[in-house]
Amino acid sequence: MTLKKPLDTPIRYLKGIGPKREKSFKRLGINSVDDLLYYFPRRYEDRTKFTLIAKLIEGQVQTVRAKILSKVERRIFRRRQLNIIEVVVADASSKLSCVWFNQPYLKEYLKIGSSLILYGKIERYGSRLQMNSAEFEVISDSGDDSLNMARIVPIYTLPEGFTQRNLRKIINHALNEYLPQINDFLVYDIRSRNNLLNLVKSLSNIHFPQDADTQKQAYERLAFEEFFLFQLPLALRKLRKREKKGISHNIDAELSRNFISRLPFKLTQAQEKVIAEIALDMASSAAMQRLLQGDVGSGKTIVATLACIIAIQGGYQAALMVPTEILARQHFEKISSQIASSQGKEVKIELLTSSANKKEKEKIYKQIKEGRADLIIGTHALLEEEVVFKNLGLVVIDEQHKFGVGQRSLLPKKGFNPDVLIMTATPIPRTLAITLYGDLDISIINELPPGRPVIKTLLLKEKEKQQGYRIAREELRQGRQAFIVYPVIEESYALDIAGAKRMYEELKQDEFRGFKLGLVHGRLKQEEQDEIMRKFKDRELDALVSTTVLEVGIDIPNATCMIVESAERFGLSQLHQLRGRVGRGAETSFCLLISDCQTQEAKARLAAMVKFNDGFRIAEEDLKIRGPGEFFGSRQHGLTELKIGNPLTQMQLLRRAREEALRLLKIDPRLELKQDLPLKKRLLQRFPEYEKLMVVG
């Protein structure tokens, strides 16, 4: 049977949607009726009861229903002209003044005598309470207003050109037309085991809840559904991987021991543990898919190097991909020297970045293709079509959070099921990691090499930054080095923050007179960047003024001072990464965050930096402050597409969804049983890219 009204019906076939509205829907990613039904309210208003104006409490966000008594428009000149619309409203209990800034059109729109619902924070000015920039809705006192009044009402983020009222009407219409045709793709068993509402009831209650309790259940069902769809491909991939034949690397224990014994340090227990895990994986015939998590400075590179050596000694090629050129070069130099001093077969290492010229590139391509290059270290230049391996046996991706999911999966495709090791210094809490990277095995380095000093982190106000410079100068006098990082290269009129370029000139003349300063940023030519980094490394420079090009991976143990200016402009994990550039030697190090942070969020971030040194703790804080969507960023997996599921607050639900996904796939690994077909269809609608995963085998 085919449905008369399939959910993928384009949005323009809905009543009330002309080309203009269609366009603004599309801008929000709403193309079909399906998308619209899954466009959930941002919040709700319980319009069965309002707060009386006389009962309003200062400082709280509240909803009132009132009539407009009077309005005035005022203009004042501060730095810029400010237009103020002030409206006095009243209900049976009292009056309230409501103020909007720079929305002069409200003057016409708000009519004396009309009824409003107002939602906003109550502030006190002297003895009087006021609501500033309230969200409001004009309500009609006559006619049928059952969607908008006397119930729990959904409030949406509005597409352009819509009011809450007309969006509600359209969604209600879509629900009425299409809900009767919907089959629940979650089978009864799963629903009943997990106490979930059915789909029809959930969708209708997420938009127009019959009561708060049902809304909550609807929410839970839809969040579960999201998690479940999100976990299925991960679980599927994990199962497929077990079936997939990979390379069984030959482990020469003697050789690894030899290499390790020649290192200038002893491996930490954690490093040894993860090396064992990786070696075991590489020896097995299944293709390795391993995520290596470890805080900045925990020594992941040497682990990766060992994995490469294992692959190479068995006659395979290994590729190491990193996000920046500076880092690629650093790895290239360090790994080359480490490998050169070890015994065994001679290893040919190549560096491939996009700054190589055409001729150089072609030469490297040829080496790779003919199998004369054993280890290829590079940036995303490795992904180019011309890069063809002879027999790629291992792929290592460093600082994976800097790559998109798509990019990450491209390199392994250049081999025949090579082993894959993904490394990250943006650790996430273990339970989350297991569920979010459900298709990967996880290794964790949970200790730093011994003798690492604590890094002293201080938060300084703009006017106290001299103190920071003093500390830095003291370090330089001791023969150590410093970084001074700015959020931007150049200043602009729009942003009132100092830029690296001008500050470099200034600091050179002034605070750091007599010291040798360098300037590095992303707009310099690659050779110039490299040259400055080399100078810094060789201690020809005392301090480096820079932008965040330094953020990842740079390893210079003699650097003991990191100053971050306008620190509120950086994210928490970014700050932690920056701080990770110091404290790599034995000396006490400093991280000086300079900021007159204003917002709560920025304050929370900087406070977390001062309080915590451990990357795992920092990540937890970061997740808390920003929420998972922001935390994982658009570069990360489908998580950001979660519309309502929040893996932090709904960890239980997420875990249950994962269990159900694994349970289902054990019974029906290809989702081919009749009862699972609707689910399969839904899954492919959501993640078309998994089509292949389904048909394999």
Least distance in Å: CB of 443 to Mg ion? 15
Least distance in Å: CB of 123 to ligand ADP? 47
When the beta carbons of 116 and 556 are compared against ligand ADP, the nearer one is: 556
Is 294 among the residues that bind ligand ADP (CB under 6 A)? yes
Least distance in Å: CB of 352 to ligand ADP? 20
Is 300 among the residues that bind ligand ADP (CB under 6 A)? yes
Q: Is the dihedral of CA 553, 558, 561, 566 positive or negative?
A: negative
Of 291, 299, 552, whose CA–CA distance to 433 is shortest?
A: 291
Burial 473-508 (b: 16+ CB within 10 A, else e): bebbeeebbbbbbbbbbebeeeeeebbbbebbeebb
Structure tokens at 671: 């989702």
Least distance in Å: CB of 321 to ligand ADP? 14
Of 170, 172, 177, 180, whose CA–CA distance to 200 is shortest?
A: 180
Least distance in Å: CB of 327 to Mg ion? 8
Q: What is the dihedral of CA 109, 112, 117, 119, to 10 degrees?
A: 70
When the beta carbons of 438 and 553 are compared against Mg ion, the nearer one is: 553
- Which listed option, ligand ADP, Mg ion, none, makes contact with residue 491 (CB within 5 to 8 Å by class)? none
- Stretch 449-468: interaction string toward ligand ADP, x if CB under 6 A: x-------------------
Residue 86 neighbours by CB distance under 10 Å: 14
When the beta carbons of 305 and 560 are compared against Mg ion, the nearer one is: 305
Least distance in Å: CB of 299 to ligand ADP? 3
Least distance in Å: CB of 302 to ligand ADP? 5
- Stretch 25-54: interaction string toward Mg ion, x if CB under 5 A: ------------------------------
- Which listed option, ligand ADP, Mg ion, none, makes contact with residue 109 (CB within 5 to 8 Å by class)? none
Beta-strand relationship, 152-155 and 135-139: unpaired
- Which listed option, Mg ion, ligand ADP, none, makes contact with residue 148 (CB within 5 to 8 Å by class)? none
With contacts defined by CB under 6 A, name the span among 178-186, 236-244, 291-299, 371-379 that binds ligand ADP.
291-299
- Stretch 497-536: interaction string toward ligand ADP, x if CB under 6 A: ----------------------------------------
Q: Which of 447, 555, 641, 668 binds ligand ADP (CB under 6 A)?
A: 555
Is 553 among the residues that bind Mg ion (CB under 5 A)? yes
Is 615 among the residues that bind Mg ion (CB under 5 A)? no
Rounded to whole angstroms, the Cα distance separating 348 from 506 reads: 45
Q: Are 462 and 531 a contacting pair, CB within 8 Å?
A: no
When the beta carbons of 559 and 623 are compared against ligand ADP, the nearer one is: 559
Structure tokens at 451: 């003798």
Question: Would you put residue 399 in left (φ > 0), alpha (ψ -120 to 50) or beta?
Answer: left
By rule CB under 5 A, what count of residues binds Mg ion?
1
Q: Are 68 and 112 a contacting pair, CB within 8 Å?
A: yes
Structure tokens at 472: 């830095």
Q: Are 568 and 599 a contacting pair, CB within 8 Å?
A: yes
How far does Cα 408 stand from its chain's mean position? 15
Q: Which of 120, 299, 427, 647 binds ligand ADP (CB under 6 A)?
A: 299
The DSSP H or E segment spanning 293 is strand 289-294
Q: Which phi and psi (to 5°) does residue 400 adopt?
A: -60, -25
Which residues within the stretch 427-456 sit at the binding site for Mg ion (CB under 5 A)?
A: none
By rule CB under 6 A, what count of residues binds ligand ADP?
18
- Which listed option, ligand ADP, Mg ion, none, makes contact with residue 443 (CB within 5 to 8 Å by class)? none
CA–CA–CA angle 327, 443, 437 (5° rounding)? 90
Least distance in Å: CB of 452 to ligand ADP? 8
Q: Are 302 and 271 a contacting pair, CB within 8 Å?
A: yes
Is 593 among the residues that bind ligand ADP (CB under 6 A)? no
The three-state secondary structure class of 330 is helix
- Which listed option, ligand ADP, Mg ion, none, makes contact with residue 438 (CB within 5 to 8 Å by class)? none
Q: What is the dihedral of CA 432, 437, 443, 448, to 10 degrees?
A: -50
Q: Which of 5, 265, 506, 596 binds ligand ADP (CB under 6 A)?
A: 265
Q: Are 159 and 133 a contacting pair, CB within 8 Å?
A: no
* Secondary structure, 3-state, 182-195: CCCCCCHHHHHHCC
Structure tokens at 291: 């995520």
Is 298 among the residues that bind ligand ADP (CB under 6 A)? yes
Is 177 among the residues that bind ligand ADP (CB under 6 A)? no
Which residue ranges make up the site for ligand ADP (CB under 6 A)? Answer: 265-268, 271, 294, 296-302, 425, 449, 555, 557, 584
Which residue ranges make up the site for Mg ion (CB under 5 A)? Answer: 553
